[in-house]
Amino acid sequence: MEPLVSVIVPTKNSELFLEKCLTSIKNQSYKNLEIIVIDNNSTDKTKEIAKKFTNKIFDKGPERSAQRNFGARQSNGEYLLFVDSDMELSPGVIYSCIKRMSTNQNTQGIIIPEESFGKGFWAQCKRLERSFYVGVEWMEAIRFFKKATFQEVGGYSEKMVSGEDWDVSQRVESHGMISRVNDFIYHNEGEASLMKIIKKKFYYAKKFSTYQNCNKNKIYYTKQSSITERYKLFLSNPGHLFKNPILGFGMLFMKTCEFIFGGAGYLVKKKNYE
């Protein structure tokens, strides 16, 4: 019998994206799965939408790490897939993950590449940015886990609001082989604006020190937090970066703004603790 896969979706006021997310899960070529929605006391139609797809709907907070861990505790699957509510799965992604797991029993987790889409210029800049991260080990993170391994490493750190996906990936990596598939997850940026992007960066940067302070994360952190390393990555393929020059320069400007505001958020948090 095919192993059961538990797909865990944390939500909070996710009515704009959730139906497409859950539809993409239902439309998977691999059918032996359960959908678990962990809501954080939404005030919109999130729960109403979720009820069309599953009866496994729970409330949990305060942040997505706690939601994900709670969802794992409610799951019955041998494998766990964590999907954000603004994501959509390509039809064969779960099948590919199962096939990759069965090919090598030592595989503990699987990286699924991501591609952004959305409306407007800044969403296209995000799409271009994310395209540079495919196959870059210090930027990608595991989304598909053996449940036993996920439990053994303690799941997501609930002390972390930012960097928690990188953190759990590095703990899983110490327990065995990590693999990857070629099928994509598509990240819906919606109607992105530069202000929304930098406000989000400011918020998460304020929460990044917990990830930074874990010694096992230091090697990856130095690259992940470095604007120099990020620019080296972008400029490693100038033909791709500047295929559309306006988009390329726009993306570089966006990332510079993110680093400036992210640095400000980090310093604000640090000052508050002094």
Q: What is the CATH number of the domain that holds 112?
A: 3.90.550.10
Domain count, the chain: 1
Distance CA 43, CA 1 (A): 40
CB neighbour burial string for 226-239, b if at least 16 within 10 angstroms, e if fewer: eeeebeebbeeeee
Residue 270 pLDDT greater than 70, yes or no: no
* Average pLDDT estimate for 12-34: 97
What residue numbers bound the domain in which 85 lies? 5-273
Q: pLDDT tens, 55-103?
A: 999 999 889 999 999 999 999 999 999 999 999 999 999 999 999 999 8
The pair of structure tokens assigned to 265 is: 């958020």
| pLDDT confidence tier of residue 269, bands split at 50, 70 and 90 | low
C-alpha 140/C-alpha 190 separation (Å) is 22
Cβ atoms < 10 Å from Cβ of 43:
9
What is the residue-averaged pLDDT of the chain? 91
* C-beta separation of 170 from 216 below 8 A: yes
- Which is nearest to 141 in space by CA: 176, 116, 170, 161? 170
pLDDT at 266 (0 to 100) = 60
